[in-house]
């Protein structure tokens, strides 16, 4: 009986083993289909490429926008002077540390590039209250920047231009401090700008002081 049972058990086990041999193909062929995995992986790659392209396009447009805004401020200044300071400016009594006129163009070209890049870096940072405030201050300083040349060269109002310059220096400093909380390199980029604004303020004040007796002809 034991031999018979053992024989029967072996026979039953053999049948079960045959059934197991058949199960992987029957039950999992559709789940383990390599084509399906390849298709899913390919779709993920396509979506990733599309996202990268959209991100690159958005970044490019943002950078172009910041560049356009800074160039706009520069264009306002150029329009106010007609590309040349004019006779009025040349006849002003200037301090001995006044740079030659040809220095201003290259300096401002560099500074506008730094200003635009700084604003773009802040824009790229993660959304936050500090980021929003920094961007608002960035726009405010650019507006004040654009107003100085028409006031000084266009309206020939040295004192009004000086007030504008002081406000610009304060707003630009506030922008740098706020940008530091968002993106430190963005704040570092405007440090040369702050230094130049301080120097420009000194020049503006000296032009007022040295030309007080000429107010009738040279404006305020």
pLDDT in the model for residue 7? 46
Residue 2 domain flag? no
In 3D space, the residue among 75, 86, 104, 59 whose CA is nearest the CA of residue 203 turns out to be 104
Q: Are residues 201 and 169 in contact, defined by beta-carbon separation less than 8 angstroms? A: yes
Q: Which of 107, 200, 115 is nearest to 151 (CA)?
A: 200
How far apart CA 29 and CA 24 sit, in angstroms, is: 7
* 10-residue mean pLDDT series, the chain (220 residues): 47 48 50 54 60 75 94 87 82 95 94 97 97 98 96 94 98 98 98 98 97 60
Range of the structural domain that residue 189 is part of: 34-218
Residue 189 placed within a domain: yes
Q: How many CB atoms lie within 10 A of CB 36?
A: 11
Pair of tokens at residue 145: 């920047």
Whole-structure pTM value: 0.74
What is the C-alpha separation between 143 and 148, in angstroms, rounded? 9
CATH of the domain at 136: 1.20.1260.100
- Which two tokens mark 214? 């000429």
CA distance 220 to 4: 123
Structural domain includes residue 17? no
Region for 95 from its dihedrals, namely left if φ exceeds 0, alpha if ψ lies in -120 to 50, beta otherwise: beta
pLDDT at res. 134 = 98
pLDDT of residue 117: 97
Asked, for residue 129, whether it belongs to a domain, the answer is yes
Q: How far apart are CA 164 and CA 162, in angstroms?
A: 5
* Tokens describing residue 98: 């006044």
pLDDT of 11 reads 46
pLDDT of residue 216: 44
For residue 20, being part of any structural domain is answered with no
CB 192 within 8 A of CB 199: no
In a domain, 92, yes or no: yes
- The region that residue 86 occupies, defined by phi over 0 for left and psi between -120 and 50 for alpha, beta otherwise, is left
Q: Is residue 110 part of a domain?
A: yes
Are 186 and 179 in contact by the 8 Å Cβ rule? The answer is: yes
28 domain-assigned? no
**How many structural domains does the chain have?**
1
């Amino acid at each position: 009986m034991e031999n018979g049972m053992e024989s029967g058990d072996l026979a039953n086990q053999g049948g079960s083993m045959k059934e197991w041999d058949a199960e992987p193909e029957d039950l999992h062929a559709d789940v383990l289909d390599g084509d399906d995995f390849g298709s899913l992986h390919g779709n993920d790659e396509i979506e990733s490429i599309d996202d990268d392209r959209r991100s690159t396009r958005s970044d490019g447009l943002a950078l172009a926008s910041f560049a356009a805004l800074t160039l706009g401020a520069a264009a306002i200044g150029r329009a106010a002077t007609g590309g040349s300071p004019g006779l009025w400016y040349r006849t002003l009594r200037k301090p001995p540390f006044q740079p030659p006129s040809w220095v201003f163009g290259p300096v401002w070209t560099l500074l506008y590039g730094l200003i635009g890049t700084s604003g773009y870096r802040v824009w790229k940072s993660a959304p936050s209250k500090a980021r929003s405030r920094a961007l608002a201050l960035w726009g405010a300083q650019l507006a004040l920047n654009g107003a100085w040349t028409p006031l000084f060269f266009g309206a020939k109002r040295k004192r009004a231009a000086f007030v504008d310059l002081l406000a610009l220096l304060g707003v630009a400093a506030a922008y740098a401090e706020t940008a530091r909380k968002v993106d430190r390199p963005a704040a570092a980029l405007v440090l040369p700008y702050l230094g130049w604004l301080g120097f420009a303020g000194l020049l503006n004040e000296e032009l007022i002081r040295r030309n007080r007796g000429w107010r009738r002809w040279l404006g305020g």
